[in-house]
């Protein structure tokens, strides 16, 4: 019986992604609690590690649809393990690294167990190639968490680097992917993650009274989140990505599945996390100057999001937009407004950068061709 699937993401996969995005939002807590370069580094290392295994689950359900009871139960087990992992993230570098490591090991073991339910030989190369490697990575993370201190930083950073190098060590399997499903699955993760930035707006507002200043900051923050949505989903971008991905696979582009939605997506999601952390603090104190770290989280987070998305598009031969790169530079520069004036001022500046950028872009390209550009 064939296990190939259609392009639609199943409701169980969407449920899984909702749980997974809670994991992503925990990195916002890391940034807010540690407003420093060290906090950003900790979040980046953990996000790179966590996203590696999300990619494993995305490939898994692309190849082996969760359409049977055993597979669905295994997916639920994966959700539970990710939830446990998420709860350990905020204090992973404060003595809870072992909990993070053990939860991550559970994520890996559930993933390997679910892959074994596939009976098609064409999937066995992926399983045989990555499962032992993933277990080894997880054990190193457990060791780093148990040792703590400098060992934790060193071993976890080395693991993240090794994980994203690993795909080059076995034969590329991108041709096995269902392009429509793969593109939609990652788009939904971005959508839910941006939605969580709106939650950050609400959390920020909850720390202060709902006066005019707060309500204005809430409106600006929501507009910034909408700008991120427009950057990723506006102007038929889903169609462009799907057609670009199909062409890249057909052309035999090396590791297109990993290069397009792999490490570069750490930048996409990390950018959302940075913006959410900045909005949360800006809305909590709309009339006050932001700390340097928080202002950089918001401005550079938006810039990282825009640049990473352009890199992802480039891997599908959709080109890189100079306008988007200019928008990214301008977004990063809005940190000056947050540091020198106020959080609300930076929100307004970032909203203007995104809004005016898209207006100019829309006038220059009133109809985006399906072939990209």
Pick from 125, 128, 101: nearest CA to 173: 125
Q: What is the DSSP letter of 175?
A: G
Q: What is the pLDDT of residue 297?
A: 97
Please give the model's pTM, rounded to 2 decimal places.
0.90
What's the rounded mean pLDDT across residues 204-213?
72
> Does residue 369 register a pLDDT over 80?
no
Condensed to tens digits (0 to 9), the pLDDT of residues 251-290 reads 888 888 899 999 999 999 999 999 999 999 998 888 899 9
What's the rounded mean pLDDT across residues 224-248?
86
What's the rounded mean pLDDT across residues 343-354?
95
Which residues fall within 8 angstroms of residue 176, CB to CB, at 6 or more apart?
63, 122, 123, 126
| Alpha-carbon dihedral angle through residues 93, 95, 98, 99, given to the nearest 10 degrees | -90
What's the rounded mean pLDDT across residues 314-318?
89
Q: Angle at the Cα of 100 (from 86 to 50), degrees rounded to 5?
A: 60
Which residues fall within 8 angstroms of residue 162, CB to CB, at 6 or more apart?
137
> Does residue 53 register a pLDDT over 50?
yes
| Residues 346, 335 contacting (CB under 8 angstroms) | yes
> Does residue 154 register a pLDDT over 60?
yes
Q: Angle at the Cα of 169 (from 164 to 173), degrees rounded to 5?
A: 85
Condensed to tens digits (0 to 9), the pLDDT of residues 2-26 reads 344 556 788 899 999 988 888 988 9
What's the rounded mean pLDDT across residues 70-82?
87
| Residues 294, 277 contacting (CB under 8 angstroms) | yes
Q: In whole angstroms, give the CA distance from residue 156 to residue 34.
A: 18
Condensed to tens digits (0 to 9), the pLDDT of residues 123-150 reads 555 666 678 889 999 999 999 999 999 9
SS3 content of the chain, % helix, strand, coil (to 5): 80, 0, 20
Q: What is the pLDDT of residue 139?
A: 97
Domain map (residue ranges) of the chain: 11-171, 179-364
Give me the residue label for tokens 């301008």. Answer: 330
Q: In whole angstroms, give the CA distance from residue 319 to residue 60.
A: 29
Pick from 312, 319, 330, 324: nearest CA to 361: 324
| Residues 186, 265 contacting (CB under 8 angstroms) | yes
Q: What is the pLDDT of residue 8?
A: 78
What's the rounded mean pLDDT across residues 190-209?
79
> Does residue 368 register a pLDDT over 70?
no
Pick from 73, 72, 76, 82: nearest CA to 51: 82
Condensed to tens digits (0 to 9), the pLDDT of residues 169-192 reads 777 778 888 888 899 999 999 999
């Amino acid at each position: 019986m064939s296990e190939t699937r259609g392009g639609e993401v199943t409701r169980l996969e969407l449920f899984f992604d909702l749980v997974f995005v809670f994991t992503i939002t925990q990195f916002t807590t890391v940034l807010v609690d540690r407003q420093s370069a060290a906090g950003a580094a900790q979040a980046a290392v953990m996000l790179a590690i966590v996203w590696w295994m999300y990619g494993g689950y995305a490939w898994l359900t692309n190849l082996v649809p969760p359409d049977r009871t055993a597979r669905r139960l295994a997916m639920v087990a994966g959700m539970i393990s990710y939830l446990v992992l998420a709860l350990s993230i905020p204090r992973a570098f404060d003595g809870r690294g072992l909990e993070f490591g053990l939860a991550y090991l559970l994520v890996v073991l559930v993933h390997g167990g679910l892959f074994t339910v596939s009976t098609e030989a064409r999937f066995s190369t992926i399983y045989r190639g990555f499962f032992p490697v993933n277990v080894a990575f997880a054990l190193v993370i457990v060791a780093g968490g148990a040792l703590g201190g400098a060992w934790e930083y060193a071993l976890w950073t080395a693991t993240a680097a090794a994980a994203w190098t690993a795909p080059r060590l076995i034969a590329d399997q991108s041709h096995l992917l269902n392009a429509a499903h793969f593109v939609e699955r990652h788009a939904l993760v971005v959508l839910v993650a941006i939605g969580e930035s709106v939650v950050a707006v609400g959390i920020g507002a909850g720390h202060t009274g709902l006066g005019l200043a707060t309500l204005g900051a809430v409106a600006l923050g929501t507009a910034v989140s909408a700008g991120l949505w427009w950057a990723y989903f506006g102007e038929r971008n889903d169609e462009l990505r799907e057609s670009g991905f199909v062409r890249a696979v057909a052309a035999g582009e090396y590791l297109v599945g990993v290069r397009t939605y792999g490490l570069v997506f750490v930048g996409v999601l990390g950018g959302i996390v940075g913006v959410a952390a900045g909005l949360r603090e800006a809305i909590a104190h709309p009339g006050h100057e932001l700390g340097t770290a928080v202002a950089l989280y918001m401005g550079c987070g938006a810039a990282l999001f825009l640049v990473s998305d352009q890199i992802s598009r480039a891997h599908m031969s959709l080109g890189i937009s100079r306008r988007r790169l200019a928008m990214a530079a301008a977004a990063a520069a809005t940190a000056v407004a947050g540091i020198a004036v106020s959080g609300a001022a930076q929100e307004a500046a970032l909203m203007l950068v995104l809004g005016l950028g898209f207006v100019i872009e829309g006038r220059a390209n009133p109809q985006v061709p399906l072939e990209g550009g």
